[in-house]
A and B are shown apart, each in its own frame.
Chain A
Amino acid sequence: MLKKMLEQFGIDEKRLMLEWVSASEGDRFASIVNNMTEQVRALGPLNWNQGGKHG
């Protein structure tokens, strides 16, 4: 639902991740966070002009 809405706002679905990690899965948690960070970094900053006047 959130993904569909974000798509309407022009936000790449790769910027949203939903994962279930147990408290015992430390390594998995770290690797998911690292992967997500890398993925978002690769996408670069949003071309987001929220207050300004010109698009």
Chain B
Amino acid sequence: MAKLKLALYWAAACGGCDVAVLDINEKILDVAKLADIVFWPIALDFKYHHVEAMPDKSVDVCLFNGAIRSSEQEHIAKMLRSKSKVLVSFGSCACFGGIPALANLTTRAEIMERAYIEAPSNENPNKTLPQTKVSVPEGELTLPELYDNVLTLAQVVPVEYFVPGCPPTVDLILKVVNALATNSLPPVGATIASDKTLCDECDRKKEKKMISRIYRTHEIIPDPERCLLEQGLLCMGSATRGGCGALCVKVNIPCRGCFGPPAGVFDQGAKLVSSIASIYQTNGKQDIEKMVNELVDPAGTFYRFGMSVSMLKRRIPQKT
């Protein structure tokens, strides 16, 4: 079999997905046997003009991580789409917006103000903000335009497969590599993880107990055997796709939903609101008020990784 051509790219991301690819350790040698890497900015010295020069559909597989929040990222996404036969939305940022999509609770103007003007580490008395075009004595400099909304890869271009996770686990990456090696890719549109919820693969004891209080993670040391949600901790397991092997809950840390909504769930946060509402013991208005007060940051917790694919997608700017 001829060697596959593989491209990897990071948009609005942290580089953790790229490192996750290396976490497969010696199996990376199998990848090297299977494929030639033609673009991977974090590891190899290819430039955008190299990719531009490639013929359409000449890349067999592109693993694209990171969300889309600037004109450059959208441009590269479109370019890699046209150069690639198979485009994989790799990691939670590309699939659901991820942590960068928490920015959808703010606006571009607020982010600019905070980062470039208010930040105590910045001295910017003229309140200069990044511009898409700047004239300097030697010529002109350009920068991409920052978008107001953080988008997923699939909201910008068609995508063949989704590999969730922050970052995707070694097992899932190997699943992708094996599917490529044996030419046994699933039907287009598939998410390479479990179709069920995280609860389905969690070993903790569920006693169908009601809760009378929501605890913040620093307030209690949870019992390592019992369901975290039933102990009053906000665990996103019931509204989250499985496939990670329950890594966080195994170390007594509640799930934050990085695998996104499970198959058939339209809105991850709404699903969790209904889970909590159904197990919180309330005997009247006072209890409901108490529950709402104990819940410090519903939007930032329930859509920690999934803001871009939620029903509302962003905070709605107030009319002025």
Q: A residues near B, CB below 8 A?
A: 1-6, 8-11, 46-55
Contacts and interface: CB of A to CB of B under 8 A. Distances in A.
13 contacts: A1-B273, A1-B276, A1-B298, A4-B295, A8-B298, A8-B299, A8-B315, A50-B312, A51-B151, A54-B147, A54-B148, A55-B148, A55-B317
Interface in B263-320: 269-270, 273, 276-277, 291-292, 295, 297-300, 302, 312-319
Given A2-B273, A10-B315, 4 more contacts: A8-B297, A47-B317, A49-B149, A50-B312
Contacts of A49: 148-149, 314
A8 B316 contact: no
A51 B155 contact: yes
Interface of B: 71, 105, 107-109, 145, 147-149, 151, 155, 269-270, 273, 276-277, 291-292, 295, 297-300, 302, 312-319
Nearest to B296: A4
B105 A8 contact: yes
A4 B318 CA distance: 16
Given A1-B291, A53-B147, A55-B109, A9 B155 contact: no
A1 B277 contact: yes
A9 B269 CA distance: 12
A9 B276 contact: no
B149 A9 contact: no
Contact of A1 (B292, B312, B316): B292
A50 B97 CA distance: 13
Nearest to B298: A5
Contacts of B319: 47
Given A8-B300, A50-B149, A55 B292 contact: no
